[in-house]
Structure 1
Amino acid sequence: MNLRSKQWFGKTGKDGFIYRAWMKNQGIPDDYFQGKPVIGICNTWSELTPCNAHFRELAEFVKKGIIEAGGFPVEFPVMSLGETLIKPTAMLYRNLASMDVEESIRANPVDGVVLMCGCDKTTPSLVMGACSVDLPTLVISGGPMMKGKFKGKEIGTSDVWRFAEAYKLGELTQKEFIEAEACMARTPGHCAVMGTASTMATMVEALGLSLPQNAAIPAADVRRKVLAQESGRRIVDMVREDQKLSKVLVREAFENAIRVNAATGGSTNFVIHLLAIAGRIGVDLHLDDFDKFSKSIPLLANVQPSGEHFMEDLYYAGGLPALMEQMKEYLHLNIKTVNGKTVADNIANSPIYDDKIISTFDKAFKKDSGIAVLRGNLAPNGAVLKPSAASKELFKHRGKVVLFENIEDYHARIDTPELDIDENSVMVLKNVGPKGYPGMAEVGNMGIPKKLLEKGVKDMVRISDGRMSGTGFGTVLLHVSPEAAAGGPLNWVQNGDFISIDVENRSINWEVSDEELAKRKQAHPLQAPKMDRGYVSLYIDRVQQADVGADMDFLVGGSGSTVTRDSH
C-alpha cells in the first residue's frame, strides 16, 4: 500500500522528527506513524452554521470507525457556510470554501478523506474541493432535522413561505410567528424538507459518494451515528483499495443523480452544484443533460415542497434505496460506489414501507418532475424551472413585465398600492446573478404582492437571473443566462414588455425587436459591477455563468494530490 502520508511521517532525519514530534504532543502513540492510513475528517462544524452544530459529536463516531479499521484519524476544520446567517449569500463563498478544502487536503499528510457536510453549500464546496485533489473520499451528511409541530400540524422549512404570506395578510400574529420558530427548528440537522440541503445529501448518495441511507436518516436518530461509524471503517478500506473519487464519479453516476433528483423533487440548486462538481472532476456535463435525463422520470417521493411529507418520513418509508429500486430500469446499475458495491447491490430488495411517501413508477405522485431547461432570446444559454413545484396552468403563459431592477427595488415597491400589477403579469428581477448580486442569492421566488394575495392569488410567473431556496415553490424561472450584469439580454428588459413561456416546448420569448434592443443598448450601456478588494473582487472577475456551474474559471479541472516541498 503506497501511502501518501509516508512522505511526511515515513521520513528519517530532521524533517521526519519535526512532522512526528509536534503531532505527538496530542498524545498520539508512535505506532500510529508506522504505516497506518491517515484519514482526514473535513469538518464544517460551526455555531454560525446551525445545521452542522452537532458535527463535533458526529465526528467522534467517524473516528471510532477509522480506528477500528486500523486507520489514523485527523480532524480538521474548513470554512463553514451557514445558509441562514451569511450575508449577502452563502453561494458567494461556495467557491472560496472549496479552495480551502482543496488546499487543506493537498497540503497535509492525509491518504483519504471523510467530508462532513450538512447545510446547503457545505456539501458542494467540500465535494468540489476534494475532486480537485482526487484522493479516496467518502461523504457523511448531517441529516435532516425532525419535522416540527405547530398548532397540531406538522411543519418544515417550506412553511416559512406560507407563514410569511399569512403574516403579511394579518392571519398570523407576531407572537404566533415567534412560537412557530421554536416549533419548527426543534432538533439538530438541516431543513426537514427536500430543500437544497436534503437535495445535496440525496445527490451524494445517488452519485455513490456515501453509504446507502445517508440521504434521509434524521440528524437526531442514533442510526446517523452508526452510519458515521461505518463510514469511518469504510474509508480506511477505500485507501487500501486506492478507490479515488475519479473512480466513483464517472459520467454514468452523474446521469443517475439527475434522474434521482427528478424522482425526489430536488432543488433547482442541484443544477448549479452538480455542474460545478462535474467541472472539477473532468466529466463533460451540460445544462441540457438535466432536462434530457429527467424528462421521463415522474415524482416518486411525496416530500415537500413538491409533495406533502418530510425527509424523516422518506427514511421510514424505505429511504433512497427503496425509491431507486422503483426506478432501476432508468439507472446505471453496474457502476461502483464508495462502499465497493454496485448501485444494483445497494438497492436490491429495498421494499417500500409506506406507499403514501414513496410511490411505484407506474403510480407516481406527479408526472411532471425534474428540471425543465427553457431557452429563447431572453435566455440564450438557458433558464431552469422545477415543474413539480410549479402551477400547471401557468406552463403556457404570456404576460406584461413588472420589472424590479435589483433586490432593493423589489423590497421598496412590492407591497406599495401604486404597483401596477395583476395576476397575469410576469414579475422580472434583474441583477441577482453570480456577478450582479454578487453571489447569486436565493431571491428568485419573489413573494406575491400583498394586494394580489388579498385577492387569493397564490402563484405567478416569476423570472430572474438568481436562484431560489430549495424549500421554495411556484412557477419560477431561474438562473437566466447570461445574467444581466454580464451583458445578457435580461439587462435591457423594461416595464411593459411582454414575455411568454411555454414549458412543454421549453421556450421563453421576450417580445422585443432587434432594432429596439439595439436602441436600448445604446441608450443604457452595461454598467459592469466592480469591487475594489479581496475575495469578492476576485469572484466578480473570474466567476463563470450559472449554465456552467458558477465556479471560478481557474478552478475548473483538478490538479491532483501532488505533495508540496519540505519547508524545514
Structure 2
Amino acid sequence: MITKERRYRSWEVVEGIDRGGPRAHLKNIGLLPEEMKKPFIGIVNTYSEMHPGHFHLNELVKYVKDGIYAAGGIPFEFGTIAICDGFSQANKGMCYVLPSREVIADSIEVMVEAQRFDGLVLVGGCDKIVPALLMAAARLDLPAIVVTGGPMLPGRYGGREWATYELKEAAGRLKCGLLTQEELEEMEDCLSPVAGSCAMMGTANTMSIVAEVLGMTLPGCATAHAVEGKKRRLAKASGYRIVELVNAGFKPSSILTREAFFNAIRVAMAVGGSTNCLLHIPAIAYELGIEITLDDFEKISSSTPYLAKIKPSGPYTLKDLEDAGGVPALMKELGPLLDGSQQTVSGLTIGQIAAAAKNKNPEVIRCISRAYSPQGSLAILKGNLAPRGSVVKQTAVMPSMLRHQGPARVFNSEEEANAAILGGYINPGDVIVIRYEGPKGGPGMREMLTATSYLVGMGLEDVALVTDGRFSGATRGPVVGHVSPEAACGGLIGLVEDGDQILIDIPGRKLELLVPEEEINRRRANWRPPRPKVNKGYLWRYIHLVSSADEGAILKI
C-alpha cells in the first residue's frame, strides 16, 4: 500500500488496499511505486496531422513532459479534437466548428474528473481550441497552465510577406482576370510555409493573446512562433511551472477575475483582434459565473487606442509583433489603461511583466500618443435590426464606408450569396444580407469569410454585408456580423426584403432597417419559423441548447 500526504487528488486513484487495480495498471505502463507519490499532471494535446496549426504539438508536448519530470511530477498525455476552420469554409463542415468548442471543453472535463489529475497543461492552437482550453481550465478550477502552439511564419510571394487568408481574396482576383491560375497555384505553394496558426491577427492569435493577458500562459507565449526555440523553452518552462502551481494550491479562479477579462479585451482591441473574441471571452467568463456583455466590449473598445496594425487590418505580421516585443511590450504601451495588479501563472503581475518589457519597434507597436486611432478594433452596433447588438471590425473599414446606406440584397445562406457575388449580380452600394446562419439557424454560426474575401478580391469594396452569422478574424471591410436576435429566432433580419434600405452607421453605432413600423408588423404576422436544417446528431442537440451570439453562443440547459 502506498502511503503519502493526502495533498494530491490522485491519491483517490492509487492509495489504499482497494486500489490495487489502478496501481497494477500504472506499473504496467512503466511507473515505479515511488512515482505514484508524485503529482499526476494531465497534458491535453490537441495534435492533429491534418493541419499546420496542430501538426507540431507532439514535439512541444515532449518539452512539457521534460519540464514536468524535472520539477518532480508525472505527466500523462491525452488528446481531444481540433478542427481547422480553413478546411470548413463555405461548406457544411463549418456548421461544426463553433460547436466543437463545447465538445473540446466537455471532453477535457470528463477525462480530468474521471482520472483525478492534480494539474493540467493544455497545449493547443487555432480558433476554437484555445477558447475551449481556457473554458475547461476555468470550469475545472484545478492548477492549470496553457501553452499556445504559436503562429506560423508568414509566407513570401512576389517579394513580400503574405498570409493564407489572402488566397481567398486572390480567388476573387482570378475571377476578375486580375490573376492567372498559374499565379494562384504558385501562391498556394508559398503562403503556408511551416507549422503554426495562420500568420495574421485572426481568431487563433487573438485568443492566444487573450490567454496570455488573462495570465494563463507564461509571458511571451502568444507570439512565440511555432518553429522557434523560444516556443520549446516556454513549453518546458510551463511543464516545470505546473508542478509548482499544484504544490502551491493554485486555482485559475484566483486570477481569472472580471478585471483580468477587461484587461484581455483591452489588449485585443489595441491589436485589432478578431470579432470572434465576442463569442469566446464571454463563454470563458461564464464558466466562472462572470457576465461579460457586448456593452462591456463597446465601453472598453471605445476607450482603447489602436496601437498595432497586424494583418489583415494592416501591413505587419505576427512575426513583426513578436520581434517588437510581443504582448508584454504592447501592455507596456497601454500602461495605466490596464489593471497592473492582476496576477498570472508566472507568479508575476501584469504590471510587473509590462514594466520589464521593451518596445523594440515603436512603429509596429505604437505609443498612445501616436495611436492609429483613439478607438479599438471592434464596434458594437445596435438598432431595430440588431436590438441586442452586432459587431464590426471598424479598424478594417475604409473611411468612406464607415457610414453607408444602400439597398438590401437578401440571401438565406452563404452559398446563395457566394453564387451571386461570383456571378456578377451584386451592384456597387448594395448591402448583402445573409441570414439563417446564426447559432441556431446555421446551425453553428458559420463564418462568412468566403463571401467577404470575394468582395475584396473582386474590388467590391463599396458593398456592405450584414449577417447573423460570424466572420473569420481574417475578414476586412464594411461587414457586420453576430446580428442578434438571429433570423431563426424571429429577429428582424429574417423580415428584410430585397430593395429595403439599410443604414450602417459605425461612428453612430447604428444598424437600422429603414422600413415603416406598420410594414414590419405586417411582415412579422406572416413570418413562420423555418424548419431546422438538421434533425439528428450533435447539431440537433446543439440547436436546442445554444444561446444567442450576444451571450457567447454558450450551451444552456
* Counterpart for residue 561 of structure 1: none
C-alpha distance 459-44 of structure 1, shift in aligned 2 (>3 A)? farther
Structure 2 residue runs without a partner (length 5+) = 1-5
What TM-score, normalized by structure 2, do the two folds share?
0.95
Say whether residues 1:443 and 2:448 are aligned partners: yes
Identity fraction in percent: 39
Which range is displaced more, 390-399 or 425-434? 390-399
Query: How many angstroms does 1:389 deviate by?
Result: 1.0
Alignment of 1:66-85 (within 5 A): 66-85=68-87
- Distance in structure 2 (CA, Å) of the matches to 1:164 and 1:368: 32
Q: Secondary structure at the match of 2:503?
A: strand
User: Which one of 3, 8, 12 corresponds to residue 7 of structure 1?
Assistant: 12
Match of 1:88 in 2: 94
Question: How much has 1:6 moved relative to structure 2?
Answer: 1.1
Matches within 5 A, 1:377-526: 377-417=384-424, 419=425, 421-443=426-448, 446-447=451-452, 456-526=459-529
Q: Which amino acid is 2:482 matched to?
A: H
Structure 2 distance, partners of 1:112, 1:250, is 20
| Secondary structure at the counterpart of residue 479 of structure 1 | strand
Match of 2:363 among 345, 352, 356: 356
Query: Is the partner of 1:52 in helix, strand or coil?
Result: coil
**For the residues of structure 2 that align with 1:349 and 1:79, how far apart are their CA atoms?**
37
Q: 1:151 aligns with which of 147, 152, 158?
A: 158
CA contact (8 A) 1:391 1:459 kept: no
Rounded to whole Å, the distance in 2 between the matches of 1:206 and 1:353 is 19
Contact kept in structure 2, 1:158 and 1:304, CA below 8 Å: no
Deviation of residue 347 (structure 1)? Answer: 1.4
State the secondary structure of the residue aligned to 2:391: strand
Instruction: State the shift of 1:297 in Å.
Output: 1.3
- Shift of the 267–126 alpha-carbon distance from structure 1 to 2, 3 Å rule, reads same
Which deviates the most, 472-481 or 349-358? 349-358
In structure 2, the partner of 1:61 is 63
- Provide Cα deviations, 1:181-237, integer angstroms capped at 9, x if missing partner: 121111110111111111011010011110110111110111100000011111111
Out of 162, 174, 179, which is 1:167 matched to?
174
Query: Letter of the aligned partner of 2:68 in structure 1?
Result: I
Asked if the contact 1:405–1:430 (Cα under 8 Å) also holds between the matched residues in 2, the reply is yes
- Counterpart residue identity of residue 544, structure 2: D
Please point out which of 334, 339, 344 is paired with 1:337.
344
Q: Which amino acid in structure 2 is aligned with residue 192 of structure 1?
A: A
Return the offset for 1:368.
Answer: 3.9
Secondary structure of the 1:499 match is: strand
Contact 1:271 1:287 in 2 (8 A): yes
| 8 A contact 1:302–1:356 mirrored in 2 | no
1:563 aligned partner? none
Residues 1:228 and 2:235 aligned together: yes
Deviation by residue 1:501-545 (Cα, 9 ceiling, x = unmatched): 221221111112232122212333122415322211100111011
Distance 1:357 1:544, change over 3 A: same
- Report the 3-state secondary structure (helix = DSSP H, G, I; strand = E; otherwise coil) of the residue aligned with 2:348: coil
1:337-376 per-position Cα deviation (integer Å, ceiling 9, x unaligned): 1111111111113111112211111111333423211111
Partner of 2:327: 320
Match of 2:541 among 526, 538, 542: 538
Report the alpha carbon displacement of residue 453 of structure 1 after superposing the two structures with TM: 6.9
Aligned residue type for 1:185:
S
Kindly indicate whether the alpha-carbon contact (under 8 Å) linking 1:445 and 1:474 is maintained by their aligned counterparts in 2: no
Distance, in Å, in 2 between the alignment partners of 1:53 and 1:459 is 39
Letter in 2 for 1:156: A
Counterpart Cα distance in 2 of 1:113 and 1:308: 37
Cα RMSD (Å) of the superposition? 1.7
Query: Do the aligned partners of residues 498 and 548 (structure 1) sit closer, same or farther apart at CA in structure 2, a change above 3 Å counting?
Result: same
Structure 1 residues 395-424: Cα deviation after superposition (integer angstroms, max 9, x where no partner): 22211111112123213322334x3x4322
1:172 CA drift (Å): 1.8
Give the aligned residue type for 1:402: R
Gaps of at least 5 residues in structure 1 are: 555-568
Distance 1:453 1:105, change over 3 A: closer
Shift of 1:432: 1.0
* CA displacement 1:435-488 (0-9 Å, x = unmatched): 1111111116734778x976x543422100111110121111110001111111
Name the CA shift for 1:276/1:453 in 2 (closer, same or farther; >3 Å). Answer: closer
1:304 maps to a residue whose letter is K
Q: Does 1:304 align with 2:311?
A: yes
Alignment-mate amino acid for residue 39 of structure 2: P
